[in-house]
């Protein structure tokens, strides 16, 4: 049997391995092969990122796709957060997204420079949300939720998300999360989508569930949202 030679980055990650954490964490991610999980806790991984940022080793690693291990993907996403040039960050995220294969990696990746280029970013978000790739769509919705529910909010963004047609669990979950967060931040514009049944039954009810669990929504609004719960006739 041929022994697989480890890269320098992989050696660093295995030196930080916590096998008990690996065993625990692997049970939370049934879609990822256990052999692809090293077992590195996130605070430890972030310390490694600080050590690697700006080095040629990190630059080379970013170009070496696909990665073998889950933690390599997370390391990749965290390294991209430190990219200071918008165009470069956008290019690198776009190159990496096709290889993202789990929600945890998808949701952590947020280059800080994106927040300074919202006018340009929204165009790319629209492209991501039209992708055929599950986690690219999820990422686009996540960026819309992160940056465009406050002073840059527009009602058309709610419509864009509501029109996404999918059976992908992790996309539907993000749509529900988006609408629950929108209810907390833009209640009047958002509640209409529940009152008029713009979402599929599962996503509709999941959005209500998440909103009711939120501390950012008042009790009277939560009480009203509970009355909007739908019941799938196919299951009755």
* Tens digit of each residue's pLDDT (9 = 90 or more) over 78-127: 999 999 999 999 999 999 999 999 999 999 999 999 999 999 999 999 99
Helices (H), 81-117: 86-96, 103-108
**Tokens, residue 39:** 């077992």
Number of independent structural domains in the chain: 2
**pLDDT for 1:** 34
What's the whole-number mean pLDDT along residues 131-139? 97
If asked whether residues 134 and 229 sit together in one domain, one would say yes
DSSP single-letter state for residue 16: T
Mean pLDDT of the chain: 94
Residue 200 sits in a domain of what CATH number?
A: 1.25.40
Q: Is residue 1 in a domain? A: no
What's the whole-number mean pLDDT along residues 44-48? 97
What's the whole-number mean pLDDT along residues 66-80? 96
Dump the DSSP string for 213-227.
Answer: H-TTS-HHHHHHHHT
What is the pTM (predicted TM-score) of this model?
Answer: 0.93
Query: Among 138, 11, 120, which Cα is nearest to 69's?
Result: 11
Q: Is residue 68 in a domain? A: yes
**pLDDT for 31:** 87
**Alpha-carbon distance values, 226 to 175, 186, 189, 218 (Å):** 18, 18, 18, 13
SS3 109: coil
If asked whether residues 136 and 200 sit together in one domain, one would say yes
Q: Is residue 2 in a domain? A: no
- Cα separation, 89 vs 110, in Å, equals 10
């Amino acid at each position: 049997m041929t022994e697989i030679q480890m890269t320098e980055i992989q050696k660093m990650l295995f030196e930080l391995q916590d096998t008990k954490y690996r065993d625990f964490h692997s049970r939370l991610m049934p879609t990822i092969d256990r052999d692809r999980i090293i077992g590195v806790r996130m605070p430890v991984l972030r310390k490694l990122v600080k050590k690697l940022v700006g080095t040629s080793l990190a630059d080379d690693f970013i170009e070496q796709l696909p990665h073998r291990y889950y933690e390599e993907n997370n390391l990749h996403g965290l390294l991209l957060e430190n990219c200071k040039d918008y165009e470069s960050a956008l290019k690198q995220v776009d190159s990496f997204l096709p290889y993202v294969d789990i929600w945890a990696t998808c949701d952590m990746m947020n280059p800080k420079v994106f927040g300074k280029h919202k006018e340009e970013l929204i165009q790319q978000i629209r492209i991501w949300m039209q992708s055929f790739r599950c986690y690219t769509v999820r990422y686009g919705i996540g960026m819309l939720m992160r940056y465009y529910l406050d002073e840059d909010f527009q009602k058309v963004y709610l419509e864009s998300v509501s029109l996404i047609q999918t059976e992908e669990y992790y996309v539907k979950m993000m749509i529900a999360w988006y609408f629950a967060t929108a209810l907390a931040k833009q209640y009047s514009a958002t509640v209409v989508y529940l009152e008029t049944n713009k979402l599929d039954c599962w996503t509709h009810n999941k959005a209500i569930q998440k909103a009711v669990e939120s501390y950012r929504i008042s009790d009277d609004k939560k009480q009203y949202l509970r009355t909007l719960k739908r019941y799938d006739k196919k299951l009755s």
